[in-house]
Amino acid sequence: EVQLVESGGGLVQSGGSLRLSCAASGFTFSSYSMNWVRQAPGKGLEWVSYISSSSSTIYYADSVKGRFTIFRDNGKNSLFLQMNSLRAEDTAVYYCARDRDFDNWGQGTLVTVSS
């Protein structure tokens, strides 16, 4: 069974940093691209970042470019999102999701940025 478990969320002040993690199991992690998707309270879904299986291709939404960094450790079946210079508008539940059609999602981790 595919499992994705996010962690690392919490309350941080504006301008601060957080690192999110996504632990993967139940599939060959190194064979799949991965994404981060977020959802602000009461709002819809927003794709944040994508990383290919080998880390050779990386994309970011314009709203986070230059502030967030996605990376992965295939040896540890883990995906990460380093978030710097956080803003109030980054407040959201952050999900990791597998592949370009997001066929599996984690349960999410809440990031709250206080101004």
Partner 1 sequence: EIVMTQSPATLSVSPGERATLSCRASQSVSNNLAWYQQKPGQAPRLLINGASTRATGIPARFSGSGSGTEFTLTISSLQSEDFAVYYCQQYNNWPPGTFGQGTKVEIK
Residues in contact with partner 1 by CB under 8 A are: 35, 44-47, 50, 59-61, 95, 100-108
Beta carbon of residue 9, minimum distance to partner 1 (angstroms, whole number):
14
| Closer residue to partner 1 in complex, CB, 17/57 | 57
Beta strand ranges found along 14-77 (DSSP E): 18-25, 34-39, 45-51, 58-60, 68-73
Smallest gap from Cβ 101 to partner 1, in A, equals 4
Please say which residue, 16 or 99, places its beta carbon nearer to partner 1: 99
Q: What's the closest the beta carbon of residue 13 comes to partner 1, in angstroms?
A: 27
- 44 vs 75 by CB, closer to partner 1: 44
Q: Which H or E run contains 44?
A: none
Q: Are 12 and 112 in contact (CB under 8 A)?
A: yes
- Are the beta carbons of 22 and 80 closer than 8 angstroms? yes
